[in-house]
Amino acid sequence: MNPPSVVSLQNVSFSYGGPCVLDGVSLEVGEHEFIGIVGPNAGGKSTLLKLMLGLLEPLKGGVRVLGEPPERSRTQIGYVPQYPQFSRDFPITVEQTVMMGRLGMSGLFGNYRRRDRAVAHQAMIETEVSELAARQLCTLSGGQLQRVLMARALACEPRILMLDEPTANIDMRIETEIFDLLKRFNQRMTIIVVSHDVGFISGYVNRVACLNRTLICHHTAAIDGDTIRTLYDADVKMVEHRH
């Protein structure tokens, strides 16, 4: 029996005013699933995440997250964007950044409660950045910053964690460490990750959603050279991982 869907897209299409970026996309994501979304640049991957987050509205079709319109369930989603929406030079510490994940869940006037601090501290422990708590963001490496952004997303105690290219411009060793963390988090939450590296993520995810304006889902072992050529319109090297 399949697990209940926590994300449901039914025949979704979207456009920024020109040609359709997404056309007739349908997708069901089960609870505690680890799913990867792959495809070429401008194929609609980030747009798809923004529709799930309720940051965009589809031209047609429906989006439900945890049984609700996405804007109502947003507080139960942890989100790690592709590019941080702040300047790296902004004078803010690691701890202050992670505490931002508790905004909207704390008491009146933005005051943090003891539990907010405890949850944020636990998120820093899980992502192995607690020793960096007093460091300024501008002093962090790319891999350290990505862990901090993951800690911020975990601080809202999400049921779903969404990540947009979390390991872009990060070396293979750090990429492996981050995906090992995600695999651990997957024991208690659904994970949806956008990636450019179909070969690498196939060792972690349950399914791969191949997106290039339209979407087709495959179990990882079913991805072959013909699938990749159709998706990217080019030959792409990949390695199959058997679970």
pLDDT digits (tens, 9 = 90+) for 34-76: 999 998 888 899 999 999 999 999 999 999 999 999 999 989 9
Confidence of residue 3 (pLDDT cuts 50, 70, 90): low
Q: Which of 111-125, 187-201, 215-229 has the highest mean pLDDT?
A: 111-125
pLDDT digits (tens, 9 = 90+) for 171-217: 888 889 999 999 999 999 999 999 877 777 888 898 999 899 898 88
pLDDT confidence of residue 235:
52
- Cβ 62 vs Cβ 10: under 8 Å: yes
Residue in this structure with the two tokens 């300047």, named with its chain if needed: 87
The correct CATH number of 5-85+158-232 out of 3.40.50.300, 3.40.50.720, 3.30.360.10, 3.10.20.90 is: 3.40.50.300
208 closest CA partner among 185, 233, 238: 238
- Furthest-apart CA pair in the chain: how many Å? 55
pLDDT confidence of residue 105:
76
pLDDT digits (tens, 9 = 90+) for 134-175: 999 989 988 899 999 999 999 999 999 999 998 887 888 888
pLDDT higher than 50, residue 17: yes
Q: Which residues pair with 25 in a beta bridge?
A: 12
pTM given for the model: 0.86
DSSP codes joined into one string, the chain? -PPPEEEEEEEEEEESSSSEEEEEEEEEEETT-EEEEE--TTSSHHHHHHHHHTSS--SEEEEEETTB-HHHHGGGEEEE-SS-SS-TTS--BHHHHHHGGGTTTS-GGGPPPHHHHHHHHHHHHHTT-GGGTTSBGGG--HHHHHHHHHHHHHTT--SEEEEESTTTT--HHHHHHHHHHHHHHTTTSEEEEE-S-HHHHTTT-SEEEEEESEEEEEEGGG--HHHHHHHHSS---------
pLDDT confidence of residue 56:
95
Confidence of residue 239 (pLDDT cuts 50, 70, 90): very low
58 — alpha (psi -120 to 50), left (phi > 0) or beta? beta
pLDDT higher than 50, residue 243: no
pLDDT higher than 60, residue 236: no
pLDDT confidence of residue 134:
95
Per the model's pLDDT, the better-predicted residue between 13 and 243 turns out to be 13
pLDDT confidence of residue 241:
43
